[in-house]
Amino acid sequence: MENYKDLKTIQKDLKEGKLSLPALVSHYLDVIKKGQDLNIFLEVWDEEALAKAKEIQEKLNAGTAGRLAGAVIGVKDNICLKGHKVSASSKILAGFESIYTATSLDRLLAEDAILIGRSNCDEFAMGSSNENSAYGAVKNPLDVTRVPGGSSGGSAAAVAAGMCLMALGSDTGGSIRQPASFCGLVGFKPTYGRISRYGLIAYASSFDQIGPFTHTIEDAALLYEIMAGRDEMDATSSSEKVNAFKGAEKKPLRIAYIQDCLEREGLSEEVKKAFNQEIQNLKAQGHTLEPVSFPLLDSMIPVYYVLTTAEASSNLARFDGIHYGYRSKEAKDIESTYVLSRSEGFGMEVQRRIMLGTFVLSAGYYDSYYSKAQKIRRLIKENTEEILKDFDLIMTPSCPSVAFPIDSVKDPIAMYLQDIFTVQANLTGMPAITLPLTTADEGLPLGIHFLAAPFREDRLFDIGARCMHEMA
């Protein structure tokens, strides 16, 4: 069967009778089975997916199918689906079954999407390599010796490996965009509040956003359009009008690129070379590109990790070994139940971030760390807004390097610095996208990252369509 890369082609073949939906789902299930050693899916909903395929095929035959008929989608293991297990890839949620469905999934299902399974991820979405899962590391299908990125590495790897057409991830500091860069995909994070967080297991509530992995801009825009919009179950969701993507514009864009990014120690030469080449490519297309300075660049990672760990410390306090999930067999009373269940149930990285978050929120250090970080977050947002007054987009590399070998980054700080170019969008609440525009010398993909003003997702889809159609 053809290795489909976009929904338009699938729907065309379905309409012409060249393809049936049950056959398509069976194909994806075969690919999943053959690729089990990649450790991508924690659970495959094979019977349910096939039954849904037959149901939607009848709708297609009757001409009543929704906009996502033919879309087979993987779901990150921190997004809830009623009647199905969800664990955030953590031992502490082993065996937990959701009693409700995330709004984002409800909206996809209403348009006849097929959900094929839940994908592995870094535990509680804390990681940049998908090595922190309680169920083992995910391998990058483009090079099985390397990581797929994190924390949504399983979702990215699933799409890259041809196990599904699209997948959902969550993005707290780059957890969609970095894996997309490592796996050669479009990775999109919308404006904070654009897509409901109802049904997303929280890591850091003022940062988290659900978003898609796709091969094409058109598919990313379609998923976004369907999932976006006000949700009464999420008080932070926005009622701002969601506009459908109608294709690339012709007007040249003004794009700022942060010069400080290119001068950072740790930026690989191949990434720098590819980024500079992309600047020239965009200029050749008629766009204006100018360097800008961002003095707060080095502050972003410290601010991000102070604030996100503080929120994680609060959010994860509910996992106590009493209400649901893992409970230590050695527990004898309330105190030992709490201490032992959390010590045994949480992995090392999650424990590290909870401890850090608890520390920065403590009475003696709140003003020195948490309060100060909130003030700097505000400055980062204001400085970013100033740049976007004069430019349509801000451009940076997606990551300092290509996908790195599994088990090669031992230093937690070095791992945290993987997010240096992506956290800006989460600190400011602005939308951002990674585009698979170039490759390194050895053939591994490199993403180029664009950030836009709040609710200007249209500009991200616009630049994506122009760049990717130029490559085609």
CATH code of the domain containing 135: 3.90.1300.10
Strand ranges for 65-108 from DSSP E: 72-76
State the pLDDT at residue 266.
Answer: 86
- pLDDT tens for each residue of the chain, 472 residues long: 889 999 999 999 999 999 999 999 999 999 999 999 999 999 999 999 999 999 999 999 999 999 999 999 999 999 999 999 999 999 999 999 999 999 999 999 999 999 999 999 999 999 999 999 999 999 999 999 999 999 999 999 999 999 999 999 999 999 999 999 999 999 999 999 999 999 999 999 999 999 999 999 999 999 999 999 999 999 999 999 998 898 888 899 999 999 999 988 889 999 999 999 999 999 999 999 999 999 999 999 999 999 999 999 999 999 998 888 899 999 999 999 999 999 999 999 999 999 999 999 998 899 999 999 999 999 999 999 999 999 999 999 999 999 999 999 999 999 999 999 999 999 999 999 999 999 887 789 999 999 999 999 999 999 999 999 866 5
Q: Which residues are catalytic?
A: 76, 151, 175
Beta-strand relationship, 72-76 and 166-171: parallel
Phi-psi region of 141 (alpha: psi -120 to 50; beta: other; left: phi over 0): alpha
Phi-psi region of 451 (alpha: psi -120 to 50; beta: other; left: phi over 0): beta
Beta-strand relationship, 432-439 and 445-451: antiparallel
Sign of the C-alpha dihedral computed for residues 325, 205, 424 and 377 taken in this order: negative
Q: Is the peptide bond before 151 cis (omega within 30 degrees of 0)?
A: yes
Domain count, the chain: 1
Backbone φ, ψ for residue 152 (5° rounding): -90, 40
Determine the residue type at 239: S
With a CB cutoff of 8 Å and minimum separation 6, the contacts of 39 are 120, 135, 136, 137, 138, 139, 154
SS3 394: strand
State the pLDDT at residue 472.
Answer: 55
Which residue range(s) make up the domain with 51? Answer: 1-472
**Burial bucket for residue 343 (CB in 10 Å: 0-12, 13-18, 19+):** exposed
CA distance 285 to 345: 52
State the pLDDT at residue 470.
Answer: 65
CA distance 41 to 162: 13
State the pLDDT at residue 471.
Answer: 63
Q: What are 97's strand-pairing partners?
A: 85
Question: Residues 214, 186: contact at Cβ < 8 Å?
Answer: yes
Per-residue burial over 283-305, b = 16 or more CB atoms within 10 Å of its CB, e = otherwise: eeeebebeebebebbebbbebbb
Cα–Cα distances in angstroms (integers) from residue 15 to residues 48, 70, 115, in the given order: 23, 10, 21
State the pLDDT at residue 58.
Answer: 98
CB atoms within 10 A of CB 55: 14
With a CB cutoff of 8 Å and minimum separation 6, the contacts of 158 are 40, 41, 74, 119, 164, 167
Closest CA relative to residue 177, chosen from 433, 465, 418, 452: 433
Beta-strand relationship, 254-258 and 393-397: parallel
With a CB cutoff of 8 Å and minimum separation 6, the contacts of 242 are 194, 224, 225, 228, 229
CA distance 235 to 192: 12
